[in-house]
Structure 1
Amino acid sequence: MHSGQAEIASSISGVRRFPDSIVVSYDAKDALTLYRTMESMAALANTTRFF
Structure 2
Amino acid sequence: MDQDWFLSLDDARSKCEVYRREYNEERPHNAIGNKTPMEFIKSIGQPSRPMV
Q: If the TM-score is normalised by the length of the shorter chain, which range does it land in?
A: 0.3 to 0.5
Choose between structure 1 and 2 for higher RCO, CA contacts under 8 A separated by at least 6 residues.
1
Q: TM-score, normalised by structure 2?
A: 0.45
Q: Which has the larger radius of gyration?
A: 2
Higher strand residue share: 1
Higher helix residue share: 2
Q: TM-score, normalised by structure 1?
A: 0.46
